């Protein structure tokens, strides 16, 4: 069992089901002896846009700016913005990373995608990816809510197989960086469920 867990959480409301899911995870993991840290992105007012401001002391090639190249060099030279450094330190210490969010447009909210763009930037490498990725000793999991029932994300549903929807996130981002990706925790349409069904989901 992972002993150090980082939960990257993206929801503005403290009374949301996502907040309840995050709190339930913290309680359950803590009870199992894990140390849990939460990055509450909205509360932190985390900057979503990946820009030259993420690099202190100026970029190497301003005329042909390439964020992936510049952020990797800045990481090696210790020239990253403070908010990125703080999140990377949390990430380096974690054995398991859980992303808790409401699904927006078949993906994560912009603020969470910004976290991935900015914080995971130094992990993007052609020479070290997938099974050789820098996070190959870490695990990750998506935990999220939808605004529709499970049948909508089935082989015969209008949105198609949920595994196809999640492929860019689970494989193109997390697995690419080396994470061992757990099956997702999906809360199907909790907003329309009864209090009893939502309690059951949390359990």
Sort 25 into a burial class: Cβ within 10 Å, 0-12 / 13-18 / 19+. Answer: buried
Domain map of the chain by residue range?
A: 4-202
Predicted structure pTM score: 0.95
Q: Under DSSP, is residue 139 helix (H, G, I), strand (E, B) or coil?
A: strand
**CA gap 187, 143 in Å, rounded:** 8
Query: How distant is the alpha carbon of residue 102 from its chain centre?
Result: 12
Q: Please tell me the chain's helix, strand, coil percentages from 3-state DSSP, rounded to the nearest 5.
A: 45, 15, 40
**CA gap 64, 44 in Å, rounded:** 31
Tens-level pLDDT at each residue, the chain (203 residues): 569 999 999 999 999 999 999 999 999 999 999 999 999 999 999 999 999 999 998 899 989 999 999 998 999 999 999 999 999 999 999 999 999 999 999 999 999 999 999 999 888 888 889 999 999 999 999 999 999 999 999 989 999 999 999 999 999 999 999 999 999 999 999 999 899 999 999 99
- What per-residue string of b and e applies to 51-75 under the rule 16 or more CB within 10 Å gives b? eeebbeeebeeeeeeebeebbbebb
Q: Say which CATH superfamily domain 4-202 falls into.
A: Flavodoxin domain (3.40.50.360)
């Amino acid at each position: 069992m992972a002993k150090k867990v980082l939960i990257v959480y993206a929801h503005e409301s403290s009374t949301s089901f996502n907040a309840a899911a995050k709190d339930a995870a913290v309680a359950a993991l803590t009870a199992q002896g894990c140390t849990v840290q939460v990055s509450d992105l909205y509360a932190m007012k985390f900057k979503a846009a990946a820009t030259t401001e993420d690099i202190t002391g100026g970029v190497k090639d301003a005329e042909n700016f390439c964020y992936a190249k510049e952020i990797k060099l800045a990481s090696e030279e210790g020239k990253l913005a403070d908010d990125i450094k703080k999140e990377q330190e949390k990430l380096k210490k974690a054995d398991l990373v859980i992303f808790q969010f409401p699904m927006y447009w078949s993906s994560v909210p912009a603020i969470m995608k910004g976290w991935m763009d900015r914080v995971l930037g130094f992990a993007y490498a052609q020479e070290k990816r997938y099974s050789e990725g820098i996070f190959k000793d870490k695990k990750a999991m998506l935990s999220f809510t939808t605004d529709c029932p499970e049948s909508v994300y089935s082989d015969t549903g209008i949105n198609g197989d949920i595994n196809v929807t999640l492929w860019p996130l689970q494989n193109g981002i997390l697995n690419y960086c080396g994470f061992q990706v757990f099956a997702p925790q999906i809360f199907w349409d909790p907003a329309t469920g009864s209090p009893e069904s939502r309690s059951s989901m949390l359990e």
